[in-house]
Chain A
Amino acid sequence: MARSYDVRRLPGFGAIAVLTFILLYLPILVLVVFSFNAGPSQSEWDGFSLQWYVAAFGNQQVQDVSIRSLWLATVAAGIATALAVPAALATTRVSRFPGQTMIYALINQPLMVPEIVTGIALLIVVAWVKVNSGYSGMAYLVLAHTAFCIPFAYLPIRARLETLDPTLETAAADLYANPWQAFRYITLPLLVPGIAAGFMLGFVISLDTVVITEFVKSAGQDTLPTYMLGQLRRVITPEMNAIATLFLALSLLFVTAFFLITRKRG
């Protein structure tokens, strides 16, 4: 009788929820477990071994693409964050101004347009510039990733700015701080968690981006995701599981750090 008064209970919902969580984690768990397999199979367990990790670390190509991915993510997320801070300052806690909607639309565009459309759009432009300039370096990828990271860097910075107390800056102004000093010594230090969160989000997003990279990259500019995408067509050994597991661990590290940073806000 008492149970039927529990208004939060709906029969069967708990079971479905638990099943969902299992379904969500089981494939990833299987992938991780078989990265430690002693044999070459991804379905039959032959005992524990680290040989596939040794193989992955010794693979020159994997080293190259990993370093390129990390470099690209650092540079793109760094530039995106540096651009997002002033943009957030200009569009948060201010009175409405003409063109504000357009700025929002531009900043959020990469979130709305399917990646494949952005990918082929960049392919068209990059192909044209390459032919006419002869340059085929990393700048195209840096620019493409930076643009894609901007909304992800912008959102946490904006969220942090909204929680800041504007009277602090007024107080600084009352104490004869000029606008730069007020920004440098009051706003910026308070903004650091938002900036760090924005950078991390941008970093993870750049690291995950595969479609845009696939269409923008020149020969020999594979990143870890495009390398993996290429390998998935072939016969796969648990070496791929080992690479994926390391990749997952890195993402997990950043996501956890992101959560810890943004949680302090409240």
Chain B
Amino acid sequence: MATPPDSATGPDPDPQKESHGWKWLLSAPALLVLLVAASGPLMIVAVYSFLSPGNVGGVEWDFSTEGWFRVFFSRDIFDPENVSWNWANLNVFWRTISLSLQTTLICAVLGFPTAWFIATRPPERRALWLFLITIPFWTNLLIRTFAIQELLRGNGLINTILMATGIIDEPLQLLFSNFAILLGMAYVFLPLMVLPLYAAMDKLDFRLVEAGYDLYASRVRVLWHVILPLVKPGFVAGSILVFIPSIGAYVTPRVLGGGRTMMLGNLIALQFGQGRNWPLGAALAMLLLIIVMAALVFYLRAVNGEEGKRRG
């Protein structure tokens, strides 16, 4: 690796003398790896979405919009001109968006009081509570999903307890349902909501809350008109942080949803496996990427808008 150049000793005071070449040189190895194993492949996916499927997976190098067409529509096998909506795919899209929004909502409802609880502990104990939220966040997602799967099994703990107490006679089918996916996603992504909410509350000026009470506002009014507007940036950040991995979820719906209740991530994977339609899979992956980017742009706009308001 190149020796660190002069400017590593601090920002150069003379802008005319400064050259930026060394910054690129030092970043180059990392950028090269990312280009080869992250950005480059992504561009190839975009290209593949406009090719024709090969017979046993892979692609034929013929330009085609059929991959994108099949995202939303299907053709009659005997009469290709007979086009109809692809309800199987549309169902998966609807489930993906609906479950992701519900997950975000559940995380917000549970996460807000939790973050508030941590933010109102004595300062020396907050680090410990925060650590308790962070541990699940850094432990393996697959293992946490497996833990939920175990609880929901036909012979799992929940059914065993319900049957032992006589509430039910037969085990409930809890696994492989929308409910199981929702529960699993809310469980694994909850810390992503609590952490930004806590960060917003940590900066909260409690004198404003006190002023609200002094002016005879009820708790509900203070919560609604004082606290919530002040921690809104935390809500927006937390919602985006939960929504994005939910919409792209693959492991959780695979383990808890099974083959019948798929989400978009599983539908993409299917095209590269049994489906053997790589262009369709590539188009679906691009669609997912577009949704994620749209959510990020929405978030950046919301953040910049807030900052603009505060400055203005």
Interface residues of A (CB under 8 A from B): 4-5, 7-14, 16-21, 23-25, 27-28, 30-31, 34, 41-44, 79, 83-84, 86-87, 89-91, 93-95, 97-100, 103, 106-107, 109-110, 112-125, 127, 143-144, 146-148, 150, 154, 166-167, 169-170, 172-173, 179-180, 182-183, 187, 204, 207-208, 210-211, 215, 225, 228-229, 232, 236, 240-241, 244, 247-248, 251-252, 255, 258-259, 263
Contacts and interface: CB of A to CB of B under 8 A. Distances in A.
Q: SS class of chain A's interface: helix, strand, loop or mixed?
A: helix
Given A20-B190, A43-B155, A10 B116 contact: yes
Given A10-B113, A180-B4, A107 B134 contact: no
B148 A27 contact: yes
Contact of B26 (A24, A87, A99, A121): A87
Contacts of A204: 138
Interface stretch (B66-74, B86-94, B277-285, B302-310): B277-285
B153 interface: yes
Given A90-B27, A114-B248, A117-B268, 10 more contacts: A13-B117, A16-B117, A34-B150, A86-B4, A90-B23, A93-B11, A95-B11, A118-B38, A120-B269, A121-B44
B16 interface: no
Contacts of A24: 132-133, 136, 187, 190-191
B294 interface: no
Interface in B139-163: 139-144, 146-151, 153, 155-157, 159-160
7 contacts: A25-B136, A86-B29, A103-B27, A114-B265, A116-B250, A183-B4, A204-B138
B132 A229 contact: no
Contacts of A248: 139-140, 143
Contact of B20 (A42, A97, A148): A97
Contacts of B136: 24-25, 28
Contacts of B1: 86
Given A20-B190, A43-B160, A114 B140 contact: no
Contacts of A228: 142-143, 146
Contact of A120 (B135, B147, B282): B282
Interface residues of B, number: 101
A208 to B, nearest CB: 5
Contact of A114 (B10, B150, B247): B247
Contacts, number: 295
Contacts of B146: 31, 228, 232, 240, 244
Contact of B251 (A172, A210, A255): A210
B199 interface: no
Contacts of B8: 89, 169, 179, 182-183, 187
B131 interface: yes
Interface stretch (B76-84, B205-213, B231-239): B205-213
Nearest to B38: A147
A125 B41 contact: yes
A156 to B, nearest CB: 13
Contacts of B140: 207-208, 225, 247-248, 251
A17 B115 CA distance: 8
Contacts of B75: none
B33 interface: yes
Given A113-B38, A125-B40, A120 B268 contact: yes
B42 interface: yes
Given A27-B151, A93-B11, A109-B34, A20 B39 contact: no
Contacts of A90: 22-27
B27 A110 contact: no
Nearest to B140: A208
Contacts of A16: 110, 113-114, 117
B118 A17 contact: yes
A39 B110 CA distance: 36
B42 A211 contact: no
